[in-house]
Structures are given as structure tokens and as C-alpha cells.
A and B are shown apart, each in its own frame.
Chain A
């Protein structure tokens, strides 16, 4: 099952723009007057992965949301080389805590919508093959409201395949996933890195992925 889906995914692979670099210098984010983290700097080159670790409340999710442009930076700068034509967020996939699925729509309709919405000129896998790759083919026609937590997570992660974007921001990507799905997600992450993509993931689960680690300490 997994072998077949990997082959299916491999047919749609192609190299992304290489020689990309995401550099963050001295980032600080404030939430409600409280400094969540400050003076955070890192550089991630094309093909590299960064695992963000730290205890609960250390600001991992806040960092990912700030990188995605969904939270304002109090200080610091985030730059992409070569410079993005419009906004850096358009180069990024964001998989947050919320699965962003509409319960009234079928799984396939949800994913087709995101394929069109997030499309940014790099192509991608068609929605149905992407769902099959994640083992959701048989339930693609079901309303998303009927899905289990793990299935919802997989449907959210399928967004990574339907629209190719070079930077993946993953917030606890393996939550609620079974072992086979975890293996598959690790596999597409390795392949994304091999294609010259950048992955920044916040996680408590060990990822089978060569990556550097960013430890977020106690908030100031």
C-alpha cells in the first residue's frame, strides 16, 4: 500500500528552485504585551530542515505562525534569498493545529479548493492521487466531518502535495498519525528536502529526517 503510494508520488516529483535560503535575524514576537521569544536567529539553506523543539508554551507554534506572516514581528527580519517577488508567505505551506477542513464539504472538495487556492506556479499532484497517496482514496467522497483525527490530519498534510511550495512550516505534523502514515510523512519530507525544499517543523516526536535543531528556551 505504502510502496504503491510512494511510487505514485515519485512520478510527480521535480526539483524546486534551488539555492534558496531563508534567514531569520533577531526575531521577537509579542503576544498581548508579553514577549513570547526574542533575539531568535537562524538560517536554513535549500535542502535543509530545521526541527524546532522546546517545552509546551516555549513559543514553537508562535514562531511558525510568525514565519508564515500570520503574526507580526515585534523586532527582527525574515528574508528569503533570492528575494520573493511578492510576500514570503506565498512560498510557504503552513500546517497548523487546525486542519482547515470544512465539515460540510467532501475530503476531495476540500483538497481541490486548496489545490487552486495555494497554487503558486510550481505545479503539484492532482487532488485524488494525493489523497490516495495518504491512504484516503476510499473516503475521498465522504464529508470531512465524518473523519477521525488521524484522517483529518492526513487530509491536511495532503495539501503539501497538491500545491508545490518550497518552504514547509509544519506544526506537530505527526499528531494522531499511525505508524505507517508517520513513515510516509517522513518519506515525503525527505524527498522535499532532496528536491531543494526547506522544512521547518515543530515537534515532540522524533522525525526520521536529517535536520538541525532549534531549541526554544524559557520565554524571557
Chain B
């Protein structure tokens, strides 16, 4: 929307309708919401089998394992973010809407994060217990995931937009996106207390906040540009 003297009504209505539709679809098809948490649980459960029952070691690597698991669980299903709409033709109609594509991308990301990212954040304290994570670190892992997972979803949306017309985009997406997630992972794990002992919480956490804000501004623009190019 350019700043013309146009009524502001239709675009917000379109975005609200899109948001409700995304939530409904996610809740109805069995996969959307619950599968990410189950995948998260399986990854976390596998760790003690691989590392062994050394509680000290497990407790030390718990924040890192939770973050890597959350990263992989977030990517799960992200490849369908735009691809499903592209295949059934609804992406064409979304492109022909009056609402700006950047805001549409942001709306879809918000719905996707509420369905897949937020459950991970809420489940992380309980899964932390399975890794013998010290109780005093619980709040820092929850806070770091709460702030960091939106960035993962937003960056992932760029990859989802780039692979929108590819049939086998499911594998290409992580290859494109995981390298871009490294900064979020580094500062997320640092804030969660997985780095050096006695590291301060605030500096890495604030950088994580900055990364998320950067993704919030930049990713919708990049993903919208990619969608316009790739959906042809």
C-alpha cells in the first residue's frame, strides 16, 4: 500500500482473515502444531542414549542440545509455509490481494511461530529436566528460546519463499537456512548458559534480541521479494 488517500479497511481485514485461516489449518491437519513438539521431544530423548547417563555432562550440554533441537524442530514443516499455497493456487490470489506481500509474509510467520515455535518454548523447561539441566537455568533457556525462535521462523521464511516452486524443496531449505541460523544459535546458547561457566546472561541475550528484531524487519522484505520472483 502506498500512502494514498485510500481507506485502510481492506488490508487489515485481509491480514486478520489470513491469520485465522493459518491457525485453523495448523490446528486441523494433525501435523502442524503437535508434530514439532513431538520431534523436539524425540531429539531430546535421544541425547542421553547417545551421550550416556553422565548427569554432569548432560546438564552442561543441555542448553546446547535444547537449542539445536528447537532449531531443527522449527525447520520441520517450514518448507510448506508457502509451498502448500503455491500448489493449490491460493498463493496467486494472495499475490493479487490489496494487502502488501511483506505484511502477508509477516502474518504467516506469526501464525507459524504460534503453532510451532511457542509450544517448543513452553515445553523446553520440562524437556530440560530430562537432560538434568540445573533448575536455576530454566528461566534463561525459556527466555532465550522465546526471543530466539521467532528469528529462526523468520529467517526460515526466506528459505521457504526461495524453494516455493521446487518439488523437493524440503531438503534444500535446511541447507540454505541453517548457515544463516548460526548467529542466533551462538547467542541463544550463550544466553541459555551453555557457554563458558559464569557467563553473564544479559549481553548475549540482548544481542539475541537484536538479531530477532533484525530478522523481524529484514526477513519479510527478503521473503516477499523471493516470493515475487520464485512463484512465477
Contact = CB atoms under 8 A, between A and B. Distances in A.
A175 to B, nearest CB: 14
Contacts of B17: 112-113, 115-117
A109 B24 contact: yes
Interface string B73-95: 00000000000000111101111
A114 B10 CA distance: 12
Interface string B48-88: 00000000000000000000000000000000000000011
B93 A102 contact: no
A100 B92 contact: yes
B95 A116 contact: no
Given A105-B25, A116-B16, A97 B89 contact: yes
B231 interface: yes
B122 interface: no
Contacts of B98: 86, 90, 119-120
A72 B24 CA distance: 33
A92 B9 CA distance: 19
Contact of B90 (A102, A112, A119): A102
A96 B98 CA distance: 19
Contacts of A119: 10, 13-14, 98
Nearest to A99: B89
Contacts of B9: 121
B2 to A, nearest CB: 7
Contact of A69 (B2, B6, B24, B96): B96
Contacts of B92: 65, 68, 70, 94, 96, 98, 100
A157 B95 CA distance: 18
Interface in A83-140: 85-86, 89-90, 92, 94, 96-102, 104-105, 109, 112-121
A105 B10 contact: no
Contact of A104 (B25, B97, B232): B25
A19 interface: no
Interface residues of B, number: 32
The DSSP consensus for interface residues of chain B is helix
A70 B28 contact: no
The DSSP consensus for interface residues of chain A is loop
Contacts of B4: 85-86
A71 interface: yes
A86 B232 contact: no
B196 interface: no
A117 B28 contact: no
A-side interface size class: 20 to 34
Interface in B157-198: none
A109 B22 CA distance: 11
Contact of A113 (B18, B87, B88): B18
B89 A98 contact: yes
B93 A117 contact: yes
Nearest to B95: A70
Interface centre among B4, B96, B97, B232 (most CB of A within 10 A): B96
A104 B24 contact: yes
27 contacts: A65-B92, A69-B95, A70-B92, A70-B96, A86-B2, A86-B6, A86-B98, A89-B96, A90-B96, A96-B92, A98-B89, A99-B88, A101-B88, A102-B25, A102-B88, A104-B24, A104-B29, A105-B21, A113-B18, A115-B17, A116-B16, A117-B17, A117-B99, A118-B93, A119-B10, A119-B13, A121-B7
Interface of B: 1-2, 4, 6-7, 9-10, 13-14, 16-18, 20-21, 24-25, 28-29, 87-90, 92-99, 231-232
